[in-house]
Amino acid sequence: MEKQNKSLKKGLRFYMHLYRMILIQDLKSKMSYRADFIISTIGMILTNLSGFAAFWILFRNFPSIKGWSYHEILFLYGFSLLAITPVQCFFDNNWSIYRMVYTGDFIKYCFRPVNLFFYFISEVFDIKGVGQFIFGVGVLAYAWNKLRIPCTPIYLFVLLMSVLSASLFMISLMNLAAATGFWIMGSAYVMIFAFKFKDYARYPITIFNPVFRFIFTFIIPIAFVAYYPSLFLVRADEVPLLTYLSPILGIMFFYLSYKVWMKGAMSYSGTGS
């Protein structure tokens, strides 16, 4: 474990170089099966297209929901897809923790002279997330145009910062869910349960009753995956304090999830056989 602590002292340049090398090798192995890549990308786009169709059907019967128009909620939908893409692409290996802990394969990560969390997460890049990103950009661009949001460098910068801060919340939520795999056997269900909350991120928090507003803001902060960060762009005259605090809270939540994940990893001792 002392080696793991010393690995934290390695510089950012070292980890960026190492990640680039790991990513290249992972992409090479995946691109050797190009048909799988194409089918997976198309499948991800079709999956998200079904969500788009659900919105269309819903708003054929209701012109607005709690004062939110079709294009405003569509903007939240596209925004949430972009915010979820990083956890889909870069943190997909979290889904393997419960299996590796059960089989004992996780022990191989405990003897490398690099940060354990970095090594485990960087090993897998889920290329299917590219299809989700493409679809999300298309939906967001369409809604952006319909809402007549100015397309200026400032607004684009705000969008980038908002998406990055929003993604930290989804990443953190999945880190915490994955970390349960170090202590309980049925953590796969915890992962599935946590990931399902992404479906609520595409709706404005104001449509829920006060109890769920509190839960989705302070307990399971799914409202920060789209609603609060995107208010800068969708409804600039209704920006609450939580929107301004989103980047800080996102960093804090990510750090908390990282510490919990590492605590579980450091307590891992193999299968005992």
Q: Beta strands of the chain (E only): which ranges?
A: 64-65, 68-69
> What are the extents of the domains in the chain?
2-266
| pLDDT reported for residue 272 | 45
Q: Which residues pair with 69 in a beta bridge?
A: 64
HSE (CB half, 13 Å, CA atoms) of 73?
24
Residue 9 is predicted with a pLDDT of: 52
Report the pLDDT value the prediction gives residue 32, as an integer from 0 to 100.
Answer: 67
- pLDDT at res. 148: 94
Question: Is 83 in contact with 163 (CB distance < 8 Å)?
Answer: yes
Identify the DSSP state of 67. Answer: T
Q: Which among 190, 194, 221 is positioned nearest to 205, based on CA atoms?
A: 221
pTM tops 0.75, yes or no: yes
| Beta bridge pairs of residue 65 | 68
Please list the rounded mean pLDDT of every run of 10 residues in the chain (273 residues): 50 82 76 69 73 73 79 92 93 92 88 88 86 89 94 94 96 96 88 91 91 94 95 90 94 97 85 46
Residue type, 145: N
At 4 the pLDDT is 47
Three-state SS string over 172-196 comes to: HHHHHHHHHHHCCCCHHHHHHHHHH
